[in-house]
Amino acid sequence: MPGTTTQLELRIGDHERSEAVTFLRRQCAEGRLTLDEFSDRADLVLRARTAQDLRAVLADLPALPPVPAAPARRARRWRLHLSVFSGNRQAGRWRPARHTIAVSVFGSMTLDLREAVVAGPEVAIHAYAVFGSVNVITLEGTELDCSAIAVFGSVGGSVSPTDETSPLLVRLEGVAVFGSISTRVRALRHAERGAPARASGE
C-alpha cells in the first residue's frame, strides 16, 4: 500500500548505529574481523540510514559466538620477536600476543598491525632497540599510548585521531639505546585490500 513502511525500510538513529559499532568491535576482538575489516564496516554503519543498511553490513556475522567444535585456542600472553644483525617483519594476518616483546640489536624490526587478528581490545608492545630500530604500523583510528624512552636514541612517529569507533588500543613501551622506536599510520593499498589473507595455520 502507498505510504506503508516495512520493517526493513525503517529509519535508524545514532543509538542503533552506536550499538552496531559496539557489536563490530566485539567481533574484531573475537577474531572474526581484522582491524581493516572493522574500519570499513564501522564506516558503513555510521553512514547507514535504514535498518536494511545495517542488516547488509552485519549479515555474515553471528549474533552470538558459534559453539566451537573443539576447545577454543587460548590467546598467547607473551611472545618474543627478535632481530639481531638482521631484519624481522610481522605483517598480514598474524596473531599478536597480549604482551608482544620486540627486541632489535643491530637490526630492524617491523610489527604491522593493520591486518592482525587481536584477542582483545588492547595489545601491549614492549620494544627494546639497541643500535637498531623497532617500527610499529597501525591503521588510521587505532588508539596509541606510548611511554617508551630514548637513551642516545629516538622515540616518535605519527598517530591518528581516534573516536568511539577505535577498535584497538596499542600500549607501546620500552627503551631505545642508540636506536629508534617509531610508529606509523598507514592505510592498506587497494591491492592489499583485495588479496586473500595469508594462512595463519588455523
The pLDDT of residue 164 is: 62
Q: What is the pLDDT of residue 51?
A: 84
Give the pLDDT confidence of 160-186 residue by residue, as tens digits: 666 666 778 899 999 999 999 999 988
First to last CA, the chain: 51
Q: In angstroms, rounded to a whole number, what is the distance separating the alpha carbons of residues 55 and 34?
A: 19
Instruction: Sketch the domain layout of the chain as residue ranges.
Output: 9-58, 78-194
pTM value is 0.61
Contact 92, 141 (CB under 8 A): no
Which parts of the chain sit beneath pLDDT 50? 1-8, 64-72, 190-191, 193-202
So what's the pLDDT on residue 163?
60
The single residue listed with the C-alpha cell 555510521 is 46
Q: Output the pLDDT for position 85.
A: 95
The predicted pLDDT at position 11 comes to 83
